[in-house]
Structure formats: C-alpha cells, structure tokens
Amino acid sequence: MILSDSDILSRLAEGDLVVDPIDDVDMQVQPASVDLRLGTEFLEFQRTNISCIHPNREHEVSEYVRETHVPEGDDFILHPGDFVLGTTKERVAIPDDLLATVEGRSSLGRLAVVIHATAGIVDPGYEGQITLELSNLGTAPVALTPGMRISQLVFTEMKSPADRPYGVERGSKYQGQRGPQASRLSSDPEFGGDE
C-alpha cells in the first residue's frame, strides 16, 4: 500500500519516518509523495588516463570523480550528455516496514533531466542523504539550483517489517551517507575488497 499525504504526515509525526528538513509542508508534501530538494555538493566525472574503471578498484573510482560545491543561489549547469552525482538536501530515515522509491519530477523530465539512471530503491532501515544520478538527455544545457525541488520520494508499506533491514549491522555500505557518494562496489564481498 502506498502512503498518502495524511499517512506520510502521521508517520513523520510519530518520528520513525524522517525527512529532514521539511521547511514548507504545503510545498513539499504531495498527495502521495514528498518532494526532495537538491543539495550543494556534486561529484563530476573527469577524463582520466585509466584505460577503464574496474568497479572493484576503489582508487580508480576515486580518481574518476571530482567534488564540486555550488552554493544555494548559484546554478550548476547540466550539459547535454552529462552524468553527475548530486545529493538531496534532506536526510531521510526509513523505518523497517516501509520501502521508499526515488522518482523524478515531471516538470524536470519535460526538460529531459533525469534524476536516477538505474537505482531508485531506498531500503527499509536506510538512514542518510540520497545520492542522485543526474543526467541531461536533451539538447540544451539546463541550470539546476541547489535548494530547488528535484525529486520525490514515494513510500510503500510492506506486508511485514524487514527481518534484516539496511544498516551497519549487515555491513550496508551507504548507510549514513552524507553528500553524493561514488560507487562502493569494491566493498562487496564477491569482489573481496579493493586491490
């Protein structure tokens, strides 16, 4: 079952669901979602001499990305074909009986701005800011302004709470993330850590 605006407000008031800060309830709480705003940090991918990125080599991934800070009030220009990581301004905490999905906003989609390439699931138990996979599929640059509403979070109530929710207890690698975070695939057990 998907939470409605009143369900969302009740769960926020109970305190186990957290979306923080919500500065304007009327603006951010939608009929069946909560709008999230763009943060000020970005990770851009730079040209590199590495022949290819091995996702299991943490040092190659970190050499590939460069952090940029854009103060609120300034623009980050997303050029056609660009792919950058952004972050939500809000920190979220998802209780064990809810699953959240990050969705785009139609108004930005109509400008060819996409906010997640593949991943869109925010697990039960997750706590932190949400990394956004921003791309511009159009033909004109688009100005993104930190603080603007960029994505929305939809909450689904599960049939039963997760037995093993996302969290440090199970070694979940993005738990507690602040700001945009590059891939940490290198810490997956099947890769056996960084080389």
Ligand X SMILES: O=c1ccn([C@H]2C[C@H](O)[C@@H](COP(=O)(O)OP(=O)(O)OP(=O)(O)O)O2)c(=O)[nH]1
Binding-site annotation: residue ranges for dCTP: 105-110, 123, 131-133, 152, 166, 173, 177
Closest CA to 181 of 126, 138, 125: 126
Q: Which is nearer to ligand X, 25 or 83 (CB)?
A: 83
- If binding is defined by CB under 6 A, does position 44 make contact with ligand X? no
Q: Binding to ligand X by residue 121, rule CB under 6 A?
A: yes
Q: Which of 45, 64, 174, 191 binds ligand X (CB under 6 A)?
A: 174
**Least separation in angstroms between CB 39 and ligand X:** 12
- State the Cα torsion 20-21-22-24 to the nearest 10°: 180
Active-site residue flag, 44? no
Of residues 84 through 103, those in contact with ligand X by CB under 6 A are 102
Stretch that binds ligand X, among 6-14, 34-42, 55-63, 166-174 (CB under 6 A): 166-174
Give the nearer residue to ligand X in terms of CB position, either 86 or 146: 86
Report, in Å, the least distance between residue 131 CB and ligand X: 4
> Nearest CA to 86 among 21, 150, 1?
150
Cβ neighbours of residue 7 closer than 8 Å, sequence gap 6 or more:
155
HEC profile of 120-173: CEECCCCEEEEEEEEEECCCCCEEECCCCEEEEEEEEECCCCCCCCCCHHHCCC
Catalytic residue (choose from 127, 133, 157, 190): 133
Phi, psi angle pair for 106, to nearest 5°: -55, -40
- Could you say whether residue 154 binds ligand X (CB under 6 A)? no
Residue 123, both tokens: 């697990």
Instruction: Select the residue interacting with ligand X from 42, 76, 155, 166 (CB under 6 A).
Output: 166
Under 8 Å between Cβ of 192 and 57: no
Interaction between residue 120 and ligand X (CB under 6 A): yes
Binding site for ligand X (CB under 6 A): 102, 116, 119-123, 126, 130-131, 166, 172-174
Where in the sequence numbering do the catalytic residues fall?
133
